[in-house]
Amino acid sequence: MIERLQPYLHKRQIPGYTAAIRDGEHCLEISDGQIDLESGKTADPDSIYRIASLTKPIAAILTLQAQEDGYLELGTPISDFIPEFALTPVLTDPKAKVKVKLGSDGNLEVKGDLETQRKPITVAHLITMTAGLGYLPRTDLEAAYTEAQFTGQYQRNLSETEVITRFSQLPLAAQPGEYWTYNYSFDVLATVLARATGKTLPDLIETKIRQPLGLSYLSYLINDPELTTSYYRRGEGKLELVDPRSGDYLRRPTFWPLRTGLMTTARDYTAILADLLKPEPRLLSASSARLFQSGQLPEGAASRYPRPAETYGYGVGISTGRYGYPAGVFGWSGSTGVKAQADPRTGRVAALFTPQQVGSDPSFDPWFPDFFDLVFNRS
CB atoms within 10 A of CB 331: 25
Residue partners of 267: CB distance under 8 A and separation at least 6: 20, 27, 29, 45, 216
Beta-bridge partner residues of 113: none
Which domains can be identified in the chain, with CATH numbers?
2-65+199-377 (3.40.710.10), 72-183 (no CATH)
As separate numbers, helices (DSSP H) first and strands (DSSP E) second, the chain gives 12, 17
- DSSP letters of 212-246? HHT-S-EESS-S-GGGB--EEEE-SSSEEEEE-TT
* C-beta contacts of 110-114 below 8 A and 24+ residues apart: 110/144, 110/169, 110/170, 110/171, 112/140, 112/171, 114/89, 114/90, 114/171
In whole angstroms, how far apart are CA 131 and each of 31, 73, 178, 298, 328? 39, 16, 8, 11, 25
Q: Which value, to the nearest 10 degrees, does the dihedral of the CA atoms of residues 264, 129, 256, 282 take?
A: -50
pTM greater than the 0.85 cutoff = yes
Rounded to whole angstroms, how far apart are CA atoms 164 and 144?
Answer: 15
Residue type at 31 in one-letter notation? S
Residue 313's pLDDT is 94
141 phi and psi angles, rounded to 5 deg: -70, -35
pLDDT per residue rounded down to tens, the chain (379 residues): 677 898 888 888 899 999 999 998 899 999 999 999 989 999 999 999 999 999 999 999 999 999 999 999 999 999 999 999 999 999 999 999 999 999 999 999 999 999 999 999 999 999 999 999 999 899 999 999 999 999 878 888 899 999 999 999 999 999 999 999 999 999 999 999 999 999 999 999 999 999 999 999 999 998 878 888 988 988 777 888 988 887 777 888 999 999 999 999 999 999 999 999 999 999 999 999 999 999 998 877 876 787 777 899 999 999 998 877 899 999 999 999 999 999 999 999 999 999 999 876 555 688 999 999 999 987 5
| Buried b or exposed e, range 9-36, using 16+ CB within 10 angstroms | beeebbbbbbbbbbeeeebebbbbbbbb
